[in-house]
């Protein structure tokens, strides 16, 4: 009986001792980028983007338009990002370029909205130390119990080698150049301008724009905006994910406030689309 157990155990022993194949460096880089992007730690994610892409989008603009988390909100998002699994299903290496297809499994952030205060960054960052520990413990409990809802899918990426490091190549140079503008009432009561003049995005990507609005009048005013997209034929390919100015907002005399909008460029936007202008038309409400 003992001899039989030894015969069974010996192969297991050698299998356990067999070294695992190291994860290819492009996949390691991709995994780090995906986890940082999921956590909305865009300062970290930017480190893994190619130099060619960085020339078209500085870190400050990249972080602002993506909507980076800070404080405890960032800590929570990083914790969830640690649960992400990235498994390569296809890897093609050619000189200093890699095309990688991966199977992804990641926490469904929307299903955790109630627990995470609707992902309200201000509310999360205002939690007491005891409340923070309780929330983190709840996340751990969900994960250990297998009750955390996960999303699975496949994505494909291109990476390029720069020196000894691999970087994500989004080829923003061939992307859609988006320019922002604003028009205000001729009365001069409002002053409005985008904080950045524009950005460049690829199909299927999200981007955000922030407008700084000031009430120059001596009384409270109410304003809202309409989105004017040119050329008009591209408007159906631009979705508004979130906008703080779809409903009227009140501005106190002399007050200056920032409002952000997040858009998504649809994957089926025409491949030859190269330029788009988004203008916020501010209107005064009665």
Split at pLDDT 50, 70, 90, the class of 180 is very high
Go through the domains of the chain in sequence order and give each one's CATH number: 25-171 (3.10.450.50), 175-285 (2.60.370.10)
Q: Determine the average pLDDT of the residues in 222-251.
A: 89
**Of all residues in the chain, what percent carry a pLDDT higher than 90?**
67
Place 259 in a pLDDT band, splitting at 50, 70 and 90: confident
Q: What is the pLDDT of residue 8?
A: 37
User: What mean pLDDT do residues 66-83 have?
Assistant: 93
Residue-wise pLDDT for 134-173, tens only, equals 999 999 999 999 999 999 999 999 999 999 999 999 998 8
Q: What is the DSSP string of 180-191?
A: EEEE--TTS-EE
What is the mean pLDDT of the segment spanning 8-32? 66
């Amino acid at each position: 009986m003992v001899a039989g157990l030894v015969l069974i155990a010996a192969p297991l022993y050698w299998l356990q001792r067999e070294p695992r194949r190291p994860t290819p460096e492009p996949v390691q880089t991709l995994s780090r980028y995906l986890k940082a992007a999921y956590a909305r730690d865009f300062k970290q994610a930017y480190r893994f983007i190619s130099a060619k892409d960085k020339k078209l989008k500085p870190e400050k603009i990249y972080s602002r338009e993506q909507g980076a988390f800070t404080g405890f909100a960032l800590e929570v998002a990083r914790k969830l990002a640690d649960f992400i699994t990235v498994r390569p299903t296809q890897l093609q290496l050619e000189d200093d370029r890699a095309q990688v297809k991966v199977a992804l499994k990641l926490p469904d952030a929307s299903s955790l909205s109630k627990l995470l205060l609707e992902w309200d960054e201000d509310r999360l960052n205002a939690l007491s130390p005891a409340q923070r520990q309780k929330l983190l413990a709840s996340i751990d409990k969900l994960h250990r119990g297998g009750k955390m809802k996960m999303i699975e899918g496949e994505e494909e990426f291109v990476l390029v080698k720069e020196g000894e490091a691999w970087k994500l190549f989004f080829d923003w140079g061939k992307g859609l150049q988006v320019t922002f503008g604003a028009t205000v009432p001729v009365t001069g009561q409002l002053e409005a301008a985008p904080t950045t003049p524009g950005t460049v995005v690829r199909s299927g990507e999200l981007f955000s724009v922030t407008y700084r609005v000031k009430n120059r009048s001596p009384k409270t005013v109410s304003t809202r905006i309409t989105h004017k997209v040119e050329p008009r034929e591209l408007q159906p390919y631009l979705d508004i994910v979130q906008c703080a100015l779809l409903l009227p907002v009140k501005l106190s005399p002399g007050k200056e406030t920032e409002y952000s909008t997040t858009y998504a460029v649809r994957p089926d936007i025409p491949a030859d689309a190269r330029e788009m202008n988004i203008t916020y038309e501010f209107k005064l409400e009665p």
